[in-house]
Structure 1
């Protein structure tokens, strides 16, 4: 994990001078590159649903993070909140609920909020992690929402820090869930995109 190879290999044999870069060096995997663990474009719509529902899940392979590697998960989609109700967001790794948001009830609007959630997790040792999470949601009719703070700003901002003690020498499931307080057809949270990047060990 965390390795990269050149797009083509060299068929030449190594020369006798070991101080030079050899074809076998060229062909070998090079460590230190950010690697894509998962790319997910499946739409998941949590609508008219009051039960906790998973919008993203991925099993991180055993030992993928190493002693001090990590990962970055970026999720994006939109949300309709045009009825009374609130939602909670959870981020889980293995048996640990790392983040549980405040109950969020943005101003009702017929326009969908566009949202992005970025989660960063780094191992301090193989069985201990530190986390950061940042999320923003902005309601507007356009597909690129612009809102000026202080002028009818209809948006939600979230920021978080946490820690966990999961053993990454075994496979662990990373999961993000949404939980609406009530079921209503005008309450809809859609995940459209997810990108999970492996951050190599230092």
Structure 2
């Protein structure tokens, strides 16, 4: 799709240059034929470029094309993944970002949620990988509790250039015997975390996003479960 769009763009550029040259000849009275048909061909190529740009989720105001700048859901992952009774690092979410999807200056937003059980001593490590970079990796000893913890994590990766990106992340887990755990942050029974990072992956190549977790010890009383993950492609606002 990227190659087809570039070819259409090149055809429009060449045809536009020919029209400008013909316009000058028409003004001089040196030519009068082929001009209208060439204009129609340019419009046809512009229409093709518009459809290609629309499929890619971008617009090109240079040609009067303004494709809708909508958030696009890349992955709606409702596959349950349980990490229990193991010390093996386990991937709970992964997705390949295609080359050029974040160019120019787009971003992605990932929302993850689930629950966990910690009725024994154990340290949980959460890691996010972006291509060859480990964006963030943090470990915490989850407080022992008979009730399940409900956890939520969200982060955004934004591109400031095709080779420079930034991360902002928020994580929270709250212990509760109900599905909706609501409590004060200064009371025992909650874990929170924030992260930021800067990195330099090449967005013109395919990049794999990966989130994984790992327990320090194996035990039936230690469980981390991912219920869902939704990945969104954020458009360039310009």
For the criterion TM > 0.5, the same-fold answer is: yes
Q: What are the within-5 Å matches in structure 2 for residues 31-180 of structure 1?
A: 31-101=68-138, 103-150=139-186, 152-180=187-215
Match of 2:19 in 1: none
Q: TM-score, normalised by structure 1?
A: 0.83
In 2, Cα distance between the equivalents of 1:175 and 1:195? 13
Kept in 2, the 8 Å contact 1:147–1:153? The answer is: no
Q: Encode CA deviations 1:117-175: one digit per residue, 9 max, x unaligned.
A: 0010000101110000100000000000011234x430100001001111111111100
Q: Distance in 2 between matches of 1:106 and 1:95?
A: 29
Report how far residue 106 of structure 1 moved.
2.1
C-alpha distance in 1 between matches for 2:80 and 2:185: 30
Q: Is the 8 A contact 2:124 2:142 kept in 1?
A: no
Shift of 1:51: 1.5
Contact 2:105 2:160 in 1 (8 A): yes
1-structure distance, mates of 2:126, 2:120: 18
The offset of 1:40, in angstroms, is 0.2
TM superposition score normalised by structure 2: 0.71
Which runs of 5 or more residues in structure 2 are unaligned? Answer: 2-46, 55-66
Distance in 1, matches of 2:143 and 2:121, equals 9
Larger radius of gyration: 2
Query: How far does the alpha carbon of each residue in 1:77-131 deviate from its partner, in whole angstroms, 9 at most, with x for none?
Result: 0011110110110000111100111x21121011111011001000010111000
Runs of 4+ displaced beyond 3 Å: none
Shift of 1:52: 1.0
In structure 2, distance between residues paired with 1:153 and 1:107: 9
Residue 76 of structure 1 aligns to a residue in which SS?
A: strand
RMSD: 1.6
Q: RCO greater where, 1 or 2, for CA within 8 Å and sep 6 or more?
A: 1
Give the Cα–Cα distance (whole angstroms) in 1 for the partners of residues 100 and 86 of structure 2: 36
- Structure that is richer in helix per residue: 2
CA distance in 2, matches of 1:31, 1:201: 11
